[in-house]
Structure 1
Amino acid sequence: MDLDTLSPSQRQALSQLQAVTNGGDTEVAIGVLDSVGWDVQRAADVIFDSNPSAPLPVPRTSTDTTPSNMERFEVDDTEQDGLLGGRPNRPRQPSHSTNIAALSRPLRFLLAILTFPFHVLRTFFRMLRIPLPQLPMTLSSLTIYYRNPLGPRNDLKLDARGVAERWVRALEEETGAVRLSRRAVSSEGASSSVGSSGSAAGMTARKQAGEEGERILSDFFLGSYEEFAKACAREDNPKLGCVILVSEEHDDVAEFKRSTLADSLLVRLMHDNDFLVWGGDVRDRDAWSAAQKLQATTYPFVAFIGLQPRRGGSSTSSTTSPVLTVLSRHQGPSIPTATAPTSAPTLVQHLNESVLPRVSPYLIRVRNQAAERATQKALDAERRDRERALRAEQDRAFEESKRRDKERIERKVAEERKARAEAVRAAEEKARDEAARERQELEQQQWEVKRMEWRRWGRRGLVPREPRPGNVEPARGKTLRVGVRMPDGKRGVRFFGEGDSVTAVYAYVDTLLIPEGREWSSDMDPVSPPDGKVTGEEGLMQAMREAGKEGDSWWGFNLVLSYPRREIRWEAGKKLGEIEGLKAGGQLAVEMLDTPVVKGKGKERATSSGSDDDGYVTEESD
């Protein structure tokens, strides 16, 4: 199709497409436009295989007085969600030098012919909303190379930080400047730390810098572009970011590095306003990806980014989460200094008059809100710690009180158990004592009954006949008068022969303990010993042995001479005439061994074997 047959609108579309594709073959451009109905956007999609929703740049009119190689210095608050990753909204082909474009033009023509059927088929499938088939790997690779003839360098030996450090070291070599963080190092140390294998151009630049004065560079962020963008978008401490992209194939890059990047006024302005600066060469993969996301078309390229409220939300609203936004783009040469888009004075003026006044208040407010949230979070944490400590103290106090209560309850239970045990033991002891007492009383009663039987039998069988006073019997000898004084005051007198035994006297005294009464009269005394024992003293001794009581324990009393005091001990078979003090008779006192309280003749008397110091039992009258 001839150019003369084109209408004015078709010619304008052709010129726009050629401006986008940096020239190219006219016939191919006309063919592509004709296949898509002269839609420049769709034609660009066919050629570049890009997102059809992105707007194309509008050519400048003759009335636009802005230089053609510089964008307007206006804050672009369009949300750039692609800054933090993902496919860019509108990737553009970076512009290279005229020589590279001329050399790549035949290759682009050939690639356009080869990929044209696939683009037409892809457009047809999109119109019918049919899933798009993928291009073969070879054609996809060729298309990528067509977009970037230089191609990103694929240095697998270095990570993103290593690539950034390499670019910054090269920048220091080329400009002879040092970063702000290294200014404390002496000039000799700084020169040696730049690199021991610097190029001749770098040494010349350092020499010139030494003559002109100190040259400084910003403290570049060493890392990937994604890490840089995330550091700028930190909600607790957001920062303004400056992205610098260069291409060594452009003739303007060297001057840009020396005049703009090493300008002390620009560097200090960004340093004082806490900028994060990141840079790279688009030949590197990470810088190439950043160029696609930031829609860089000309180099050198400078972009300022920062957090901004989302479109449609109030800038003062605290409920709208901010988004990382491209504030402005600057691309093109850095000379002449007064008007060049990337010159240091132009950038300084733009920052002071446009970016900082508009963005700084919002960032300060975001930082203050983040600081308030951090302070509130710290206060909440401190309050939680205090509450936790208070709860722990209350828990400890509760546990201590619980422990004391438990100990008190256990102690009370133990005391009650001990008291019950002691009560049971006391009751058992009392019962045992009662049983023993009852048993003892029973035994005592039985013993008293048995003794009374022996007393009554002794009155008949053991007490001999009383001889006549002054009479001497051949078998019994001379008559002795024996007086007996009982503990209850009763007295008795009885005559015995000196040949009678001591048993006769004890049996006589024993008969005095028999109660008075008709039933206790001597006429009713038994004629034989109890239990069928042998009669006489021999039967008595046998009864003593069986009862386990001999002597005083059997009789229950002692006989004592009144003066001088002398005990008359019972001995079986001993005669009265053999006892000193009774040879001529005497007065005997009866001392009971069990010291009972006896009642007799209306008197109460306490008897004891040793109630008086002189050994005599005293008689007390009412």
Structure 2
Amino acid sequence: MAESGDLDLGQLSTSQQEALQQYTSVTNQDLKDAIPLLQRSQWNVQIAIAKFFDGEGPDPVAEAMAQDIPRTTARHENLQESLHASAGRPQAPRQDRPDPAPRIVPRPNTVHRPPFLVGLLLAPFTIGYSIASKIFRTVFYLLNFLPTQIRPRAITSGPGTGLRSTNGRRMLMPRDTAARFRREFEEEYGNTELPWFEGGIAQAQDLAKKELKFLLVVLMSPEHDDTESFTRETLLAPDVVSFINDPANNIILWGGNILDSEAYQVAQEYNCTKYPFSAIVCLTPKEGSTRMSIIKRLAGPMPASAYLSEAQAAINKYAPDLAGVRAERTAQEVTRSLRNEQDSAYERSLAKDRERARQRREAEKAAAEAARKAEEEAEAAARREEQREKWKRWRATTMEDEPPASNKDVVRIALKMPESSGAGRIVRRFRNDTTMESLYAFVECYDVLAASEEFTEKAPTQPEDYEHEYQFRIASVMPRVVYEPSKEETMAQKIGRSGNLIVEDVSADDESDEGEDYLP
């Protein structure tokens, strides 16, 4: 594994490497920032993840070590000298560090149900309360139709519409709460060009951290007297709306009604004591690589020009830091993309090498298979030739001797042997009942019969599992008639008392036939 931040990851223990892998899989943070954060968290993954999302506060131990603690020495002075010394000593300047902006997740609205028996006992009271509440709401609704002069004050100053509506307000999911706030805002002030974020404060803060943008949080109290004037004269001022919508300012706008649970929690965590309230939140890399801080609070009513100048000053102050982080992330992304491209090219090259190796193995396998088949075919041909020779020696022993010339029941045959045999022209007599297959056998075994004196005393036997095939044919010249090696038809039936025959090799005959096909 490569080095990151002058730290060799190989020096980490197994548990530390597992913690680093688990932390980076959740946060997707760079190693050079993840390792110091884990070290500051004592390698506790849960604490490190919480610091990443909620922001990392100042480390009291590090601050204490950074300060130069003077050694105390014995001093002898009276009260007046001490007062003069303290008055003349300059005050240490207070560090201007922005407050952290915690990641706020709305607490679920838990409903406690009483036990069954208790609920059964309280059922009459619950039913009575429900009936009385419905009657009261009906009467309250009907009283709204009375003239203003005689209408009760409680009815006149009752719940309103839009942001002032408090009737039937219940806790919703963050996204639904944001949609309700936007709907109520538009009901109160009409359709505006403000790009309200449609989600919870936690999602807005996560998006601002991820995309390195400024989060403008606006909290409104419908019961406050300055809310309407601030909204119409300041927040909806054309310059402020243009400033918020300008893409160059990188602003995410989130708003909330403190009558909702989520906005109320935001007001508590942001130390909001005066309304209307606005806060600008962004990533502060100088305070921590993952620390989200409140860089500006805008509390109370103020003119649009002051509101705009304060917000612009805060954004201009921290924009260079975010630009640096953005450039660093871009460089890291380019490096990561280059590394991925190199890895991809290496994988492609490796795949090509593997493909070539596979093709080479397949070619070698095919060559070996072809050689094996050729060897098997050669062995089979040798076995067939051996069986053929055995058959010829055996068949030669079964041939009948040539009848004498005085025998009248014979067939006189003149055979012209093929030139490959070198036997030339043969004249022989056969008995009338000799089959045509015996004539073929005579031609096949002629070389064996001619060398019969070389036979040993042991008689040859017929080869097992062998069926002989003749590689020639016997035919007459004029007229041309091809005689088949029939075991049933006799020579007297097919040829007569005499005949002039020729022996033709099958292969030679086939080649001659093919040559005749190409003649014009």
Q: TM tier, shorter chain? A: 0.3 to 0.5
Higher Cα Rg, which structure: 1
If the length of structure 1 is used for normalisation, what is the TM-score?
A: 0.38
